[in-house]
Structure formats: C-alpha cells, structure tokens
Amino acid sequence: MIRVLIVDDHPALREGLRAILATQPDIAVVGEAATGQEALAQATALRPDVVLMDLEMPGLDGVEATRRIRERLPGTRVVVFTAFDGDERVMSAVEAGAQGYLLKGATRAEIFHAVRAAYQGGTPLQPAVATTLLHRLVKQQRKGEAAALSPREREVLHLLADGLTNKEIARRLAVSERTVKFHVGSIFAKLGVPNRAAAVRVALERRLVDPPA
C-alpha cells in the first residue's frame, strides 16, 4: 500500500485528490496539510511514502517544505502538484529534492502514474515540465562536459529520463536490477549528482538526452 500525504491550501482540491486516489486499491491517503509547516509536522508524524506538494502556500512554501522533508525523511518521495510551470519554480523544486512535478491539469492516469512511479524510485515529469526545465537550463552557461559515459550508461540515462524505475530498466535491458543499480551509481558519480532527479536535470542541461516529445 502506497501511503500518501496531500499538501495544498485549498480544501476543495485536497478533497478532490483524496476522492480520486481512493479509487485505487494500492494507494491510501494517510493525511492532509494546508501549509508547509503542517506538511513538515504531518510528514514527520506519519512518514508517508509519497507527498503530493503544492508550491504556493502561506508561511512556509512548498519548495522549502520539500527541502526540509527530504532532509528529515530521505525515504519519502515528494511529487510537486501545482499550477505553476515557470522555469524558476520547476528548478527550485527539483533542486529542493522533489522527485516529480505535475501540473494541476494532469489527468487521473497521470496522477496515478506519478504516485506509483515516485514510490518505486522513478522521476515522473510531464513532458511540458521537462521542456520547461530544458529551456531554463539551456540559458545557463555549460559547466563542462560529463566524464565519458559508456554506451550502456547512456541507455540507462535515457530510461531514467523517461521516468523508469530500476526494476523497469532491468526488464527493458534484460539485465539484473543489481546491474542497473551499478550503472545508476556510475552515472551519478560521472555527472556529479546525488539523485535521479538531479541526473535528469543535468542530462537535459548537457543535452545528453532529449526532452520527452
């Protein structure tokens, strides 16, 4: 069972998300929060698997709440769920530790996929968000090339950018999950990043992968 915490300052949206997620037998909403501070307290108490996090809230905003939750609970995955798709907001959320980013116009199927993918260690990014991220990054000065990635590491990196989990990558490439973990660790080391979301960000920045169509 995937335990989810919903964070948004609009009660109607929280109720709607709760109702939508309740239709899935493998997902359970264990709590709600209306502010970033409440989110931090609820996450600490409930230790959810996935947090659906709004960005614009009174007091502590979603970006800072994400950063603090990830620091306290590194095993909890944060998926941003917001109406804001500006490049600065996307960058801030990813750098704070968010594993995924959904816009509030997302379909039910996209929401279900994002929750499950984040829970399984994936990086759910809608194509529009990935494109926004790319546009922001290509404006920055390139900071040097990554250490040479092997052909297999590039394959794995492309699948990471598509949001696949280690298990899904292993199945796609017909290798063991342990082998995939080895390649992912090597990619992190060569790109100088700490996690999957950052790897995707750097890969897009350096045009090592193409943004989703």
> Could you read off the pLDDT of 172-186 as tens digits, one per residue?
999 999 999 988 988
How many CA atoms lie within 13 Å of 116's alpha carbon, on the beta-carbon side?
A: 13
How many CB atoms within 10 Å of residue 3? 17
Q: How high is the pLDDT of residue 105?
A: 85
Q: How high is the pLDDT of residue 85?
A: 67
Among residues 57, 104, 100, 56, the alpha carbon closest in space to that of 80 is found at 100
pLDDT confidence band for 133 (50 / 70 / 90): low
Rounded distance between C-alpha atoms, residue 100 and residue 86, angstroms? 15
pLDDT confidence band for 212 (50 / 70 / 90): low
Amino acid at 54: D
Helix (H) or strand (E) holding 55: none
Q: How high is the pLDDT of residue 41?
A: 96
* Mean pLDDT score, 99-123: 90
- Which residue(s) pair with 50 in the sheet? 4, 77
Give the 3-state secondary structure of residue 34: coil
- Compare 101 and 87 and report the one with higher pLDDT: 101
Q: pTM score, two decimals?
A: 0.66
Rounded distance between C-alpha atoms, residue 201 and residue 139, angstroms? 13
In terms of phi and psi (left: phi > 0; alpha: psi -120 to 50; beta: otherwise), the region of 81 is: beta
**In order of start, what are the domains of the chain with their CATH numbers?**
2-136 (3.40.50.2300), 144-205 (1.10.10.10)
Query: What's the mean pLDDT when you consider all of the chain?
Result: 86
Q: How high is the pLDDT of residue 142?
A: 44
